[in-house]
Structure 1
Amino acid sequence: MLKHDNFFTQLTQIEPSEIKGAFVSFLFIFLLMASYMIMKPVRDALPSDWGDVSLAQQWTYTFIVSTIAVAIYNVFASRISLRKIVPGVFVFFAISFLGIYSAYRAGVEVTFLGKVFYVWSSVFSLFHISVFWSFISQHYNKSESKRVFGFINTGASAGAICGPLLIILLAKSMSVDNILLVTSVVLISTLPLIAILNRHFDKKETEGQRAVTLSSNPFTGFQELLTHKRLLGIALFIFLFTGISAFLYSTQKELLIEYSRVERKQLLGSVELATNILTIIIGIFATNRIARKFGMATTLSLVP
């Protein structure tokens, strides 16, 4: 075992005492990313059955529900430690997905439930990775994070590949209700990993990191945004990027109309699979070289 640890340390620069936490975190984010990427092609196959007005309404509902959900999460996060909040968030989403699954089985109108699924899965996408990194980042200092976070993040990349691959292979049997059941099971399966990480981090010095608290004011983030030029620049970039993405999304919806829903799921799964494989290849072989040669500012400016 010691030889294996030494080899892994030489390969990744992760210290032996950090290996357990890194591997469990890798598996944790793998499951989270896979659960979302299983849903994403199925969700994105739905709008081609709707009109443009209906899709715009779903985006509006998503914005409203997301704003409320983030505000509620902020209130809880300001009063309860993340070690309790994190499992609570994923249990909540698992139960909510099971609720929608039960509604499908009970014969509730399918089109309505499809729109509920579309909105709620979009809300879930705001939380699954951000909550994970909020939980993980508080337990590592700057030098540790440089060693560990890159390896952990490969778990997200692996999950982003396995999720669409599952959809491609099982598109015919992966209806919305089955997807909800699978996602719920995957989310529940993260609970033992969270417990293991809590015990692991309890044994690790945190250098006062647990003392960090959040404001209960849901508008604190907006105040921070408006007072920092760099954050405003990032916000503007995201705003423009989202606007372009919305246009492309609408175009994609129109292009997929002529296909059946099963074919749409397979096509979208293939696109997600290819995109994430290319992302990993570019990240490994190109990004670091470009960043070293031209600097991070120039590298980021090439993204658009």
Structure 2
Amino acid sequence: MGSPLQHLFNVRREEIWPVLLAASFFFCVLTALMVLRPARESLGMQGGIEAVRWLFIGTALITLSLNPLFGLLVSRLRRMQFISVTYLFFVCSLLTFYLIMLLSPQVIGVVTGQIFYVWFSVFNLFATMLFWALMADRFSLDQGKRFFGLIAVGGTCGAIFGPWLASMLASPLGTPALLLIASGFLLLALAAAWGISRIQPEQSAATVTATVAADERIGGSAWEGFNAVFRSSYLLGITGYVLILAVMATFIYFTKLQMVADQNAGLDSRTTLFAQIDLITQIATLVMQVVVAGHLMKRVGVPVTLALLPLTALLGFVGLALVGSLAALIVFEASFRGVQRAIMRPARETLFTVVRREDKYKAKAFIDTFIYRGGDVAGAQVEGLLGRLGMGLAAVASVAVPLALVWAVLALWLGRTQRRIAAQTRADSIGNEEAGHIRTL
């Protein structure tokens, strides 16, 4: 810990370059996503809020259909090969949308906007899932506790830079140009991913849980991720945690859509309002990350860190039910998203540092894509049912508050189970080393 910056961010000298590359990787991914997100929201709302609920179902079904294909790539290709194929697929998709918008602008309408909405939702999940899967694969549990929060700062900076870049370039260059910009940042993200794989930071034998060498194919079946989740109580617990997270986030999302729709604003005004809400959220996230990055998980542990978001949701829904204004919703969403991205997300990703390499990609892909989108669908339908019954925000809070309590209990259990698995892994590693030493003698 030579310099004050190293001490502040809890990073050792030999870890600086891997962390910088990882933060750059996440910066590029989030910039690519956030350049396009405000347009996604506005295009999706062209068919009305009820149409968005159906788009959630379509997204979940497409995500489920893509999981075995992704599992097949993981089984047949080396790690960086299937990561490259996935990112290049999204680059090619963006270029296809660009050509359509450039050569046939007359086809852009409600249906085309809905197709883009679904595509973006799938792109968003797979792009971020792959980033965090590589992080869980490259860094140990101790490293994850110390600087996953710091790495997430890179993503937050990208999430702030993306909307700003879109606002600066959309008018002079045109909306189609934003797709080219997003493609460029995805290619830069892929270059950073290759850089991380080449650096290969040192890990002790106790922290390496993979059964294959880093440059070998993982193997297994395309559906192994699905099967692994239901064979492991630990992975099933992560599934439950992510499912409740998605339901809560969807409650907030549709409440926001409804409040924005009540403003009776046009397409451009809605896009501007969504961008402003995103900007407030990202600034809140950045402040939290700068203050707590690299220290909170080490000081209070993963269980408490995971439980902070359920507590935020509980208090936020109670406050929203009492106040019920757009301003209160913006404060709640900024707090929720800030805690989610700055505190909870890095802690949740450390949960995967103690599982097999196959599970880090296949099971994680199933959980972070289909299960998350399944939670979206459940949350959208429950919120829609409460809305049709005319029960309002108080009814949403009456569902969200007890769910948040269950979520908090699950968070504590996951953190403690992770600690037990890590201790068992270290004990097994020490035992294997001692046995090997005895055989050598």
TM-score between the two structures when normalised by the length of structure 2 = 0.59
Once the two structures are superposed, what CA deviation does each residue of 1:143-178 show, in whole Å capped at 9, x if it has no partner? 333444332221112112222333445564686533
**Counterpart Cα distance in 1 of 2:245 and 2:142:** 32
Once the two structures are superposed, what CA deviation does each residue of 1:9-54 show, in whole Å capped at 9, x if it has no partner? 3333323222222212211111101111222221111232113453
Tell me the equivalent position of 1:225: 229
Tell me the equivalent position of 2:308: 299
Q: Which has the higher helix share?
A: 2
Tell me the equivalent position of 1:271: 277
Shift in Å at residue 235 of structure 1?
Answer: 3.4
Answer yes or no: is 1:159 the counterpart of 2:163. no
Shift in Å at residue 86 of structure 1?
Answer: 1.7
Q: Which amino acid aligns with 1:223?
A: N
**Counterpart Cα distance in 2 of 1:298 and 1:138:** 24
Answer yes or no: is 1:59 the counterpart of 2:56. yes
Q: Which amino acid aligns with 1:78?
A: S
Shift in Å at residue 232 of structure 1?
Answer: 4.0
Once the two structures are superposed, what CA deviation does each residue of 1:189-232 show, in whole Å capped at 9, x if it has no partner? 2233233333322x867856553765643443333333444544
Pairs within 5 Å for 1:108-119: 109-111=107-109, 112-119=111-118
Pairs within 5 Å for 1:63-142: 63-107=60-104, 109-111=107-109, 112-142=111-141
Answer yes or no: is 1:47 the counterpart of 2:51. no
**Counterpart Cα distance in 2 of 1:263 and 1:90:** 32
Shift in Å at residue 113 of structure 1?
Answer: 2.4
Q: Which amino acid aligns with 1:193?
A: A
Does structure 2 conserve the Cα–Cα contact (< 8 Å) formed by 1:30 and 1:159? yes
Highest RCO, 1 vs 2 (Cα 8 Å, sep ≥ 6)? 1
Q: In the superposition, relative to structure 1, how do residues 143 and 252 fare at CA in structure 2: closer, same or farther (>3 Å)?
A: closer
- Higher mean C-alpha displacement, 7-16 vs 87-96: 7-16
**Counterpart Cα distance in 2 of 1:235 and 1:86:** 23
**Counterpart Cα distance in 2 of 1:50 and 1:240:** 27
Q: Which amino acid aligns with 2:46?
A: D
Shift in Å at residue 243 of structure 1?
Answer: 3.5
RMSD across aligned positions (CA): 3.3
**Counterpart Cα distance in 2 of 1:292 and 1:148:** 15
Does structure 1 conserve the Cα–Cα contact (< 8 Å) formed by 2:229 and 2:236? yes
Answer with 1 or 2: which has the greater Rg. Answer: 2
Does structure 2 conserve the Cα–Cα contact (< 8 Å) formed by 1:165 and 1:270? no
SS across alignment from 1:78: helix
TM-score between the two structures when normalised by the length of structure 1 = 0.82
* Structure 2: runs of 5+ lacking an equivalent: 314-441
- Higher mean C-alpha displacement, 90-99 vs 271-280: 271-280
**Counterpart Cα distance in 1 of 2:167 and 2:194:** 33
Does structure 2 conserve the Cα–Cα contact (< 8 Å) formed by 1:171 and 1:262? no
Does structure 2 conserve the Cα–Cα contact (< 8 Å) formed by 1:22 and 1:152? yes
Q: Number of matched residues?
A: 299
Q: In the superposition, relative to structure 1, how do residues 83 and 241 fare at CA in structure 2: closer, same or farther (>3 Å)?
A: closer
Once the two structures are superposed, what CA deviation does each residue of 1:47-93 show, in whole Å capped at 9, x if it has no partner? 32113453233222211211122221111112212122222221111
Q: In the superposition, relative to structure 1, how do residues 175 and 216 fare at CA in structure 2: closer, same or farther (>3 Å)?
A: farther
Pairs within 5 Å for 1:164-179: 164-170=163-169, 172=171, 176-179=175-178
Shift in Å at residue 184 of structure 1?
Answer: 1.0
Tell me the equivalent position of 1:211: 213
Q: Which amino acid aligns with 1:264?
A: R
Does structure 2 conserve the Cα–Cα contact (< 8 Å) formed by 1:47 and 1:253? no
**Counterpart Cα distance in 2 of 1:262 and 1:280:** 27
Once the two structures are superposed, what CA deviation does each residue of 1:217-273 show, in whole Å capped at 9, x if it has no partner? 344333333344454444344434434443443443344442222222221111111
Q: In the superposition, relative to structure 1, how do residues 264 and 170 fare at CA in structure 2: closer, same or farther (>3 Å)?
A: farther
**Counterpart Cα distance in 1 of 2:139 and 2:241:** 29
Tell me the equivalent position of 1:259: 265
- Higher mean C-alpha displacement, 275-284 vs 181-190: 275-284
**Counterpart Cα distance in 2 of 1:23 and 1:242:** 30
Once the two structures are superposed, what CA deviation does each residue of 1:72-129 show, in whole Å capped at 9, x if it has no partner? 1111112212122222221111111111111112216102322221111100111112
- Higher mean C-alpha displacement, 91-100 vs 262-271: 262-271
Q: In the superposition, relative to structure 1, how do residues 250 and 17 fare at CA in structure 2: closer, same or farther (>3 Å)?
A: closer
Q: Which amino acid aligns with 2:271?
A: K
SS across alignment from 1:62: helix
Answer yes or no: is 1:281 the counterpart of 2:287. yes
Q: In the superposition, relative to structure 1, how do residues 187 and 58 fare at CA in structure 2: closer, same or farther (>3 Å)?
A: same
* Structure 1: runs of 5+ lacking an equivalent: none
**Counterpart Cα distance in 2 of 1:174 and 1:53:** 33
